Structure 1
Amino acid sequence: MPRPPSSTDALRRLIGLRWLSIGVMLGVLLCVPWLLDIPLPGAALLPVAATLIAINAASMLRLAHLGDDVRPAELFAQLCIDLAAWSAFLYFTGGATNPLISLLLPLVAIGAATVPGPWAWSLAVLAVAAYSLLWDFNEQLDIYDSGLAVHWHLAGMWLTFALSAGVIVWYVVRMTAAIRSRDQALAEAREASLRNERIVALGNLAAGAAHELGTPLGTMAILAGELARNPALDDDTRADAELLRTQIAHCKTILGGLTLRAGSLRAEGGTTMAADAWLAGITQRWRSLRPHVPLATRIDCGTPPPLLVADATLEQAIHNLINNAADAEPQGVECAARIDGAQLVVEVLDRGPGMPAGLQAGRDAVASPGPGLGIGLLLAFGAVERCGGTIAFTPRPGGGTIATLSLPLSALQP
């Protein structure tokens, strides 16, 4: 996700523009006497540039050590420093007659794009006041050829206009990009909030279903037990009855754990275990629930494997991915897990028909049984994103889909 713009970014841009101002001042001091044969009061102008260098260095240290708490008043003060420095520089170089006075306008434009309205208007008033004062209060330069002076004044006006246009465009483009980045971040946050609201609603429905299903499951367990003990049944029917009783017991265990699992990143009572043992337990529990679908596993978490906290919501996410793959291809699925740098990567592979065209995985839920994508996938995305992980779907060579779940180890380790 793109990082939204902040007042710290604005201060960094102001520091960069101040380095440009310092460069222009030093360039004028070095080039004008040499190219135009116009003497400049270096003893008065050098301290202005030196002061800006010191302030810029202090501002950079402030950013490095005091964090991101930059208030609009501080940004306004930074702009006022630039305005005062240019006013002092212009005072000693002809005042309002110096074509560089147009550089006060970019400061006003930058202030309007950086600080709130009242501060921006205050900066504009100060700039107009500085321009007005420099009209009458200034130190005129000694220029002996009046015709040449007019020529260089016009050339200076052109150069100042070009520089001002470049600065304004650069700053506005940067600000526009920052605003677009902020809008995109807000849109993604809004989308995540809506998705989380759907997950919370599903959680409430699950809690109600767990309460309602407890009684019929208990009745079914009793009937399945009595049926399995019936001596009149043949062996095949008795085996089916035992399997039915086992599945009902699994359902009761799952419903009993909903209270601990709902709404928790790490379920209460979660234990620390090796990554390979955690993943092996997930796949083994899945096999017990769907014994008729072959599941091939390849788990390689290194030696020794990292220790993880058994996260119930992530267990359910992996379970749902395997379940969706089994729905897409009941003849058999594969599950591979490995450590890739600082991430745990789990891949679920099937030979099904692939992802439906136009489906936004993690945002849409398919109501029909269809190709094995539904509410479980939506819940899986919610659980993984809360841990800072991702789920990606790619076509499998030869047909089918590869679901890749990537989880940062830092979010799973104790």
Structure 2
Amino acid sequence: MPIPHLQTNRHLLLLIKLRYGFIFLQLLVVLLAEYWFEYNLPYLTLKLIIAIELAVNMVLFYCYRGNRNAREGEYLFQVLLDILLLTILLYFAKGATNPFVSLLLIPVAIAAVTLSRRLLILVSFAALAAYSVLFFSIDSHQMHMVDMQQHFLGMWVNFVLSACVVVLVVASLAQAMRNQERFVSKLREEQLRQEQLVALGTTAAQFAHQLATPLATANLLTEELEFESSEADPLLTQLKEQLHLCSRRLQDFREMSEEVKLNSKRLIPMPELLAKLQQEVQLNFADIDVEYSIPSLENLAVRADTTLLPALLNLIQNAVQSSKRNDCQQIQIQCRLDNSAQTKQFVLTIRDFGAGLPEESLLELGATLVESEQGFGMGVLLSHATLERLGAQLRLYNHTETGAVAEILMELVILQ
């Protein structure tokens, strides 16, 4: 897998452990060449290089033991170290004429699956440079003996072609695997979120269904009390208004569910949407000082359904609660047009004056349920899912001064 900017060192530690086996094989080959085949080589120098390589690897193993973070540059250092040590070892073992010179392809293959494309090209050039140094260091007598020049040149060309194959094929396969893993991971996260939304939707539907009967009974009792009362009771009138509001909300929920089920969308004029939004804010948050900044949006509309307004109200409610927790009775709602995109966009920002959002939950908030002192982020999750279904974007970030900002971007339609 590719190494991100920062992650645990388990892959790096695996490379260091594998290098122990590679060092053992190097020592075994040197001993076989000395005592079995009796080649004429500087064995003391070769054993000294292997001992240095072992010592360096032991130091690296000590540094990276346990669980710590490792950057991509550290993986690059490991691969280049392998190329350097192997090149030095081959240099004293007849250089490019050594049949094990193709082992320089192993660091290139490792880089193809662990490093970015830019660093992979750097490692490939380093391996090619190492082979070229070994090739041009061949003794002239060996080069012309039995006309071996063409053979050695052919080996060099073969190494170049092999390196290109490793870079192109292995890197392409690694990139395809990375893309597939990201796709599967994204599908898994989306499935988890959909399961959470289905569970929340099922629970809400059950509560709405169970609420219908006692609400109808309460309406009947209120009408009987009003009929039996000889005088107009202001408390009874207020209770009747609240029950009527609950009945209307329940009816809105049923209509909303029907629209979601049929996936029916319509053009909602921006002045109508913003007027309803201000009306609902004034009705539900009468004790909050709301600072509006709304430009003229005539002849503009958004393609959405009735779930858009509740999604916006959820975000406004979160902003109100955040400001109240910080002993502030103020929020800001600003609208503007974004003409920098290819299509005209409507940008709605909702700013609170609370303590802001924790940095560790900014990326997860809205994508899944996030437990915190204030709740589980259920309102933001539902709003994010609704806006995403409507083709809108939700951005959450902390304000530079104080509080948090929820920014909604929606594509506008120009009415004829």
> TM-score band, normalised by the shorter chain?
0.5 to 0.7
Other-structure match for 1:179: 177
2:327 maps to 1:329: no
Other-structure match for 1:295: 290
CA contact (8 A) 2:264 2:305 kept: no
Structure 2 counterpart SS, 1:286: helix
Query: Partners of 1:329 and 1:227 in 2: how far apart?
Result: 40
The 5 Å alignment of 1:133-148 reads none
Other-structure match for 2:366: 362
Deviations 1:341-398 (A, max 9, x none): 3332211111112224533201444678x54763221111111222343222211233
CA contact (8 A) 1:322 1:348 kept: yes
Which of 153, 156, 178 does residue 155 from structure 1 map onto?
153
Q: How many pairs were matched up?
A: 265
Q: 1:261 to 1:269 in 2, by over 3 A?
A: same
Other-structure match for 2:118: none
2:305 maps to 1:311: yes
Other-structure match for 1:44: none
Structure 2 counterpart SS, 1:377: helix
* CA-atom RMSD in angstroms: 3.7
Structure 2 unaligned residues grouped into runs of 5+: 1-101, 103-108, 114-143
Q: 1:225 to 1:300 in 2, by over 3 A?
A: farther
Other-structure match for 1:405: 408
Structure 1 counterpart SS, 2:335: strand
Deviation at 1:177, TM superposition (A): 2.2
Query: Partners of 1:263 and 1:153 in 2: how far apart?
Result: 78
Query: Partners of 1:391 and 1:191 in 2: how far apart?
Result: 17
Other-structure match for 1:378: 381
Q: 1:398 to 1:224 in 2, by over 3 A?
A: farther
Specify the code of the residue in structure 2 equivalent to 1:328: S
- Normalised by the length of structure 1, the TM-score is 0.55
CA contact (8 A) 1:295 1:333 kept: yes
Query: Partners of 1:399 and 1:374 in 2: how far apart?
Result: 20
Query: Partners of 2:222 and 2:369 in 1: how far apart?
Result: 34
Which of 188, 191, 198 does residue 190 from structure 1 map onto?
188
Specify the code of the residue in structure 2 equivalent to 1:394: Y
Q: 1:328 to 1:372 in 2, by over 3 A?
A: farther
Q: 1:156 to 1:170 in 2, by over 3 A?
A: same
CA contact (8 A) 1:352 1:400 kept: yes
Specify the code of the residue in structure 2 equivalent to 1:351: F
2:282 maps to 1:279: no
Specify the code of the residue in structure 2 equivalent to 1:277: E
- My pick for the range that moved more, 308-317 or 190-199, is 308-317
Deviation at 1:219, TM superposition (A): 4.3
Other-structure match for 1:201: 199
Query: Partners of 1:201 and 1:177 in 2: how far apart?
Result: 36
Structure 1 counterpart SS, 2:294: strand
Deviation at 1:231, TM superposition (A): 7.8
Deviation at 1:402, TM superposition (A): 0.7
The 5 Å alignment of 1:212-231 reads 212-221=210-219
CA contact (8 A) 1:260 1:268 kept: no
Q: 1:226 to 1:334 in 2, by over 3 A?
A: farther
2:390 maps to 1:387: yes
Other-structure match for 1:320: 314
Structure 1 counterpart SS, 2:248: helix
Q: 1:373 to 1:281 in 2, by over 3 A?
A: farther
Query: Partners of 1:389 and 1:323 in 2: how far apart?
Result: 19
Other-structure match for 1:350: 352
Specify the code of the residue in structure 2 equivalent to 1:158: W
Other-structure match for 1:63: none
CA contact (8 A) 1:267 1:311 kept: no
The 5 Å alignment of 1:67-86 reads none
Specify the code of the residue in structure 1 equivalent to 2:167: V
Query: Partners of 2:245 and 2:386 in 1: how far apart?
Result: 22
Structure 1 unaligned residues grouped into runs of 5+: 1-101, 103-108, 114-145
Specify the code of the residue in structure 2 equivalent to 1:361: L
The 5 Å alignment of 1:23-172 reads 150-172=148-170
CA contact (8 A) 2:301 2:415 kept: yes
Deviation at 1:198, TM superposition (A): 1.0
Q: 1:394 to 1:295 in 2, by over 3 A?
A: same
CA contact (8 A) 2:197 2:382 kept: yes
Query: Partners of 2:195 and 2:170 in 1: how far apart?
Result: 37
Specify the code of the residue in structure 2 equivalent to 1:407: M
Specify the code of the residue in structure 1 equivalent to 2:399: R
CA contact (8 A) 1:296 1:333 kept: yes
Deviation at 1:340, TM superposition (A): 1.3
Query: Partners of 1:267 and 1:289 in 2: how far apart?
Result: 29
CA contact (8 A) 2:346 2:412 kept: yes
Deviation at 1:268, TM superposition (A): 7.2
Q: 1:231 to 1:267 in 2, by over 3 A?
A: farther
CA contact (8 A) 2:302 2:410 kept: no
Query: Partners of 2:317 and 2:338 in 1: how far apart?
Result: 24
- My pick for the range that moved more, 356-365 or 259-268, is 259-268
- My pick for the range that moved more, 321-330 or 282-291, is 282-291
Deviation at 1:280, TM superposition (A): 2.4
